[in-house]
Amino acid sequence: MRKNLLLILLLSLSFSAFSQYKIGFQFSPILSSNRIDFTSDVYDLETDGTGLKIATGPFVDIQLTDNYYFNVGVFYASKRVGIEQRDKVNTGTPPTKEEYNLQYVQIPVSMKLYTNEVSLDKRIYFQFGAALEFNVEEKLKDNVIVEDFRLFDTSLLAGLGMEYQIGTSTMVFGGISYHRGLVNIISESVDGLGGDLAMKNDYIALDLGIKF
């Protein structure tokens, strides 16, 4: 599957040969969290905090006009899912916590809107788009609540940052982006919860990178 995703990126780069484009690499420390939708008379399930993970990979910016760029990439992203379970029937029972580590291959597709120079060689950008994500590995600890996760996820992304030109054709950039999951990532949960469990994954990223 990873080879197929890399092939998609190479095809994108071939298409961009007909336009002005920049190839880059991005590294993003992320704060990964999840949202839970669950109603039951037996248990109460809540999100258990956030985790520090990473998202990284190559991308290409294809110039449409002086200030508008089409962006596509292939990223590897590690995410965390945390659940705290409380027993509503036996209220004296201490809560239990469960953690899952999920590994995804992402294909983000977005538009980047650049301002004119705000100072010498510096431009601010705004980014809007979505990402198709493929679950390539799951690390389940005890899996008391979730038995399996879906293969696919989809998220919206929005971000802003600043790009700084350090050479004739080289730029570095830094920014912040928010990625909001749209799909219930749970394929199968354990029996006996007393309700249907739905969960969506979000993260906030510090985007750092370079373009050539």
The 10s digit of each residue's pLDDT in 50-77 is: 999 999 999 999 999 999 999 999 999 9
162 pLDDT above the threshold of 80:
yes
Nearest to 180 by CA among 127, 129, 107: 129
CB distance 193 to 141 below 8 Å = no
Domain boundaries, the chain: 2-211
Write down the pLDDT at residue 4: 58
Write down the pLDDT at residue 40: 87
Residue range 76-95, pLDDT digits in tens: 999 999 999 988 888 778 88
Percent of the chain with pLDDT over 90: 68
Q: Which residue has the tokens 């597709």?
A: 109
The predicted model gives 90-114 an average pLDDT of 92
Query: Between 156 and 94, where is the model more confident?
Result: 156
Fold type of domain 2-211:
Porin (2.40.160)
Question: Residue 134: which H helix or E strand, with range?
Answer: strand 122-140
Write down the pLDDT at residue 130: 98
Measured distance CA(163)–CA(40) in Å, rounded: 48
Q: How confident is the model at residue 18 (pLDDT cuts 50, 70, 90)?
A: very low
Q: How confident is the model at residue 141 (pLDDT cuts 50, 70, 90)?
A: low
Query: Between 23 and 145, where is the model more confident?
Result: 23
Q: Which residue has the tokens 């420390």?
A: 29
Write down the pLDDT at residue 145: 87
121 pLDDT above the threshold of 90:
yes
Write down the pLDDT at residue 16: 46
- Mean pLDDT for all residues in the chain: 89
**Which range has the worst mean pLDDT, 63-67, 117-121, 189-193?**
189-193
In a 13 Å sphere around the CA of 56, the CA atoms on its Cβ side amount to: 8
